[in-house]
Structures are given as C-alpha cells and as structure tokens.
C-alpha cells in the first residue's frame, strides 16, 4: 500500500497547485491576460504532444506525464474561461422573472463556447491516445470534464456554498444564474455514482502489480475523482470551500459579488422559492 502514497500525494499537490495558479493568474491585472494566454496556450500545445507521445508507453514516468499533461490542457480551458476569453454569447445577468427552461437556456448561453471547446479538446485527446496502452491522460480529462459539468449543474439547481468570491469582476453576472439552497435532488445521485466509480478505481488500482505503471495510473485517476467528490461535498457543507486557495486570491478587489444584496433563506424557504433569482454576498 505504501507504493500508492506517492501517486496520491502527487495528484493532490498538482490538483491543489494548478487550481491556485489559475486563480492567481486570473487575479492579476487584465493587462497581463494576453501573456497568461500565450504561456498557457504554449503549455497546452506541448501537453497535447506529450499525451500523444506517452500514449504508447507503459512506464510509470509516462503515467505521471500523461496525468500532468491532461491537467495542463484543463488549466488552459479554466484560465480562458475565468479571464473571459472563451465563455459564451450571453454576457449579462439573468433576465428578471425568468424561470424554468428559459433560465436554463440563458445560463447555457453564458458558457456554451467554453463547453464546446472542452468537448472538442476531449475528442482530440481521445484521437491522440487512441489504441495506446497509456490512457491515464484521457481518463484524467474525462474525470475533470464530467465532474465539472456536475458541479455546474448543481450550482445552477442550488447548493449552500456558491463560492462567488472565485468569480472575477468581469464575470460577476454569472452569479445571477446560481441558486442558493441547502441541496438539490441531483446532488445525492451524482455523488453516489461518483463514489461507486471511485471505489471501483481504487479496487482496480489495488489489483495491479505494486509499483507498476497501471497501478500508478489507477491511483492518480482515482485520487482525482475522490478530490472532485470532496469538492462536491464542499458545495453543501457549512465549510469555507476556498480556504485552500486563499494564497492565490490576492487581488480581492477584482472579485465581487453580484450587484443585488443577498437573500437569507432557510432550507425550507429555499425549496419553496425555486423560481426566484437569488444573489449571494
């Protein structure tokens, strides 16, 4: 079991540091965004090359490399979204009184280009690694994508912690599409399904020869999924979800809550107010 410690620690550190780095770059003055995009784009291109090169290699170093490359590509997408470079055609708050399907459509319009870019990148990664023995990068990107879609849906449907302080000033309008409530009906199903998959990944990693590339890759992907599950729980638990990245959120003036003052609701009131537009401090 000690052989699993290093890939687990590696996955936790890279996840924590890469998330903080994206937040740090996003918190810099907007005049720096061009250089951030150039650097992250260059790293993303090199990461795609790395995924293609390591797909046919079955050693431990290649497993670590593929995992890191997938996170670099994902980081490019996150930075492009948070800086407002690739978002969606709608860049304004939710219309007053809009509910139901129209609310979903308007919310989708705020980030559809971002989602389509991720989908296209995912297809590209599958094509680059198709038939290879090392699928760690593809599995890593798939976990990030599916769990991020789940997180967005849960925030749209309603959770306790909206983490609006992560939104920069130029994306503050996104807060109008969020809903604050104790929990939503999708959450338990998603977390349960993800936990079942995580258990399967752990069992599969344990079944591999100790110290093998298959075991390392299994632990890397399983750890990332567990971290994503923890992030989901932080959406509904009475905990400060952003405390781990406080060091990266230096420019607090560039992050603001939506324009309207918050409405404090009890869980019961929130359940009765599904069609109201909520804003949080």
Domain extent for 96 = 2-271
What is the SS3 assignment for 159?
Answer: strand
Give, as one character, the DSSP assignment of residue 93.
Answer: P
The whole-model pTM stands at 0.87
The answer to whether position 224 is within a domain reads: yes
Q: Note the pLDDT tens digit of each residue in 37-86.
A: 999 999 999 999 999 999 999 899 999 999 999 999 999 999 999 999 99
- Structural domain total, the chain: 1
pLDDT of residue 1: 61
The answer to whether position 276 is within a domain reads: no
The answer to whether position 164 is within a domain reads: yes
Q: Are 229 and 198 in contact (CB under 8 A)?
A: yes
Taking the CB of residue 63, how many other CB atoms lie within 10 A of it?
27
Longest alpha-carbon distance in the chain: 58
Which contiguous run of DSSP H or E holds residue 17? helix 5-26
HSE (CB half, 13 Å, CA atoms) of 280?
Answer: 20
pLDDT of residue 250: 64
Q: Note the pLDDT tens digit of each residue in 105-117.
A: 999 999 999 999 9
Q: Are 175 and 257 in contact (CB under 8 A)?
A: yes
Residues counted in the chain: 281
Strand partners, 180: 159
The answer to whether position 279 is within a domain reads: no
Q: Are 190 and 154 in contact (CB under 8 A)?
A: yes
* 254: Cβ contacts below 8 Å, ≥ 6 apart: 27, 168, 169
* CA separation for the pair 26, 21 (Å, rounded): 8
Closest CA to 69 of 217, 200, 248: 217
HSE (CB half, 13 Å, CA atoms) of 151?
Answer: 19
CA dihedral over 222, 48, 142, 149, signed as positive or negative: positive
Question: Helical H runs in 208-274?
Answer: 213-234, 267-271
Which stretches does DSSP call E strand in the chain? none
Q: In Å, what is the CA distance from 113 to each residue of 71, 133, 146, 216, 274?
A: 20, 32, 17, 34, 27
pLDDT of residue 259: 38
pLDDT of residue 242: 78
HSE (CB half, 13 Å, CA atoms) of 88?
Answer: 19
The answer to whether position 237 is within a domain reads: yes
- pLDDT truncated to tens, each residue of the chain (281 aa)? 667 899 999 999 999 999 999 999 998 888 999 999 999 999 999 999 999 999 999 899 999 999 999 999 999 999 999 999 999 999 999 999 999 999 999 999 999 999 999 999 999 999 999 999 999 999 999 999 999 999 999 999 999 998 888 888 889 999 999 999 999 999 999 999 999 999 999 999 999 998 899 999 999 999 999 999 999 999 999 888 778 888 887 654 444 444 333 333 333 333 344 443 333 33
């Amino acid at each position: 079991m000690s052989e699993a410690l290093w890939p687990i620690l590696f996955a936790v550190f890279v996840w924590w540091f890469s998330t903080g780095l994206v937040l740090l770059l996003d918190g810099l003055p907007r005049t720096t965004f061009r250089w951030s995009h150039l650097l992250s784009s260059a790293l993303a291109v090199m990461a795609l090359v790395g995924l293609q090169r390591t797909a046919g290699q079955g050693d431990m170093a290649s497993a670590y490399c593929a995992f890191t490359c997938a996170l670099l590509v994902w980081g490019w997408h996150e930075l492009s979204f948070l800086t407002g470079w690739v978002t969606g055609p709608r860049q304004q708050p939710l219309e007053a009184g809009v509910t139901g399907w129209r609310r979903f459509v308007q919310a989708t319009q705020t980030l559809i280009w971002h989602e389509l870019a991720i989908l296209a990148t995912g297809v590209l990664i599958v094509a680059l690694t198709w038939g290879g023995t090392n699928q760690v990068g593809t599995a890593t990107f798939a976990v990030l994508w599916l769990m991020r879609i789940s997180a967005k849906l849960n925030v749209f449907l309603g959770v306790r912690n909206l983490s609006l302080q992560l939104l920069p000033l130029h994306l503050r309008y996104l807060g109008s599409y969020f809903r604050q409530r104790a929990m939503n009906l999708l959450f338990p199903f998603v977390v349960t399904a993800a936990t079942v998959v995580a258990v399967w990944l752990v069992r599969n990693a344990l079944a591999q020869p100790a110290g093998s590339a298959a075991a390392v890759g299994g632990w890397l992907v399983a750890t990332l999924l567990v971290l994503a599950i923890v992030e989901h729980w932080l959406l509904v638990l009475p905990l400060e979800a952003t405390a781990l990245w406080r060091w990266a959120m230096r420019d607090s003036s560039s992050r603001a809550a939506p324009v309207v003052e918050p409405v404090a609701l009890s869980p019961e009131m929130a359940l009765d107010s599904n069609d109201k537009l909520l804003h949080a401090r």
